[in-house]
Amino acid sequence: EPEVTQTPSHQVTQMGQEVILRCVPISNHLYFYWYRQILGQKVEFLVSFYNNEISEKSEIFDDQFSVERPDGSNFTLKIRSTKLEDSAMYFCASSEAGRGNYGYTFGSGTRLTVV
């Protein structure tokens, strides 16, 4: 069964540093997403990506965040200058939604710790 792959599984970074979280979504899916989950809280939407551009972003997704799909395979989330409050689990997901199938596939997540 096709999978969404995320790397790394864990990342520790110093406050103020840039991090790039990587994802390989399911290639024939139409929508790609990043979500985050701060420890003990519910999963929150960050950004959706469709047709090679951002289709929607949340108020969390401010100027320090960016996404790219540079090569038609990888889907990256960049945090330019990390803050302590960026510590969370980040999930990538892809969906065939748009073809009448609302099924979702999640990656196993990247646990980001900002120190």
Q: Which residues bind other proteins (CB under 8 A)?
A: 31, 33, 35, 37, 41-45, 48, 50, 55-56, 89, 91, 95, 97-98, 102-106, 108-109, 111
CB 92 within 8 A of CB 73: no
Q: How far is the CB of 45 from other proteins (least distance, A)?
A: 5
Question: Which H or E run contains 93?
Answer: strand 88-95
Q: How far is the CB of 60 from other proteins (least distance, A)?
A: 12
Q: How far is the CB of 24 from other proteins (least distance, A)?
A: 16
Structure tokens at 92: 């990538």
CB 63 within 8 A of CB 54: no
8 vs 106: CA distance, rounded Å: 15
Q: Nearest to residue 6, comparing CAs of 97, 80, 105, 103?
A: 105
Q: Between 16 and 98, name the residue whose CB sits nearer to other proteins.
A: 98
Q: Between 18 and 54, name the residue whose CB sits nearer to other proteins.
A: 54
Q: Between 19 and 88, name the residue whose CB sits nearer to other proteins.
A: 88
